[in-house]
Amino acid sequence: MEVRVDGNRAAEAVAEIERVWHLCAAPDDDDNFDAVVRMTFDDASADLADIDAGVVQGRSLPNLMQVLTQAVTRAAIDAQKGHLVMLHAAGIQCPDTGAVVALVGPGGTGKTTLIRTLGPGKGYITDETVAVTADDIVLPYPKPLSVRREPGSMWKDETDPLEFGVLPPLRSAPLAAVVLLDRQDGYAGPPAVEPVDTLDAIAALTPETSHLPELEKPLQRMAALCDNVGGVMRVTYAEAEHLAPLVHGWLGAGS
């Protein structure tokens, strides 16, 4: 993935990208890019974001950074179709073993909140997409955390994840657990965990994947993934902080 920046204020944009995206930086000697996003930061630019085309431009850097994240995520997901299982999930890693738990939920579930609440002291894999290879190894996507500027606002500030106390991901990242999130505002009591039958898990996980049908034998791949982590669980809860002991256990179970 390459981001090309131009415009009369390109230097400022590059500095900001390097600041908040540093966990995703490619090695200096890596010049094999599978996707490109183009960004223009210029005082004369009209605001424009064509996420499908991977083109963003504008004259407000915070707004531009937000749509850049959307464009980079889309381009990265599209570049990996047919190769990886991509779950809409927050990924948290055990800092000792590298084991990863994928907390799967649709947009609005609060995956960024989960990372901010449960992630400090643990490896930050992603708050967006947990990408899994055919060997059930997770490829980290430690993008900036998109933090809502104020309650109810559609605008978010792209933030360096390390500001929230998470750790950079370890390179070795075996998938240890897959958990379906069922957050219910009115739910009272401790989180309820239940195992999910593999067929039901496949049906529930599929809408929370990207490009699954493009994989070879996609349902059999999902079944193998579910089996290899010892089965999928569903957790019903109200507040992210209540999941802390469970996440600790799931990460330990993978070691």
> Interface with another protein by CB under 8 A: which range of 44-52, 81-89, 108-116, 210-218?
210-218
The number of helix segments (H) and strand segments (E) in the chain equals 6, 15
Q: Report how far residue 160's alpha carbon sits from residue 39's, in angstroms, rounded to the nearest whole number.
A: 19
Give Cα 93 distance to the centre of its chain. 12
Out of 43, 108, 150, 217, which residue is the one contacting another protein (CB under 8 A)?
217
Q: Does 219 bind another protein (CB under 8 A)?
A: yes
> Interface with another protein by CB under 8 A: which range of 81-89, 157-165, 186-194, 212-220?
212-220
Q: Does 199 bind another protein (CB under 8 A)?
A: yes
For residue 140, how many other CB atoms are within 10 A of its CB?
Answer: 21
Q: For another protein, give the closer residue by CB, 117 or 198.
A: 198
Q: Does 203 bind another protein (CB under 8 A)?
A: yes
Q: Does 78 bind another protein (CB under 8 A)?
A: no
**137 secondary structure, DSSP code:** B
- Report how far apart, in Å, the C-alpha atoms of 66 and of each of 2, 107, 162, 175, 228 are: 17, 16, 18, 29, 36
Q: Does 230 bind another protein (CB under 8 A)?
A: no
Out of 223, 234, 242, 253, which residue is the one contacting another protein (CB under 8 A)?
223
The answer to whether 22 touches 124, Cβ cutoff 8 Å, is: no
Binding site for another protein (CB under 8 A): 197-200, 202-203, 206, 213, 217-220, 222-223
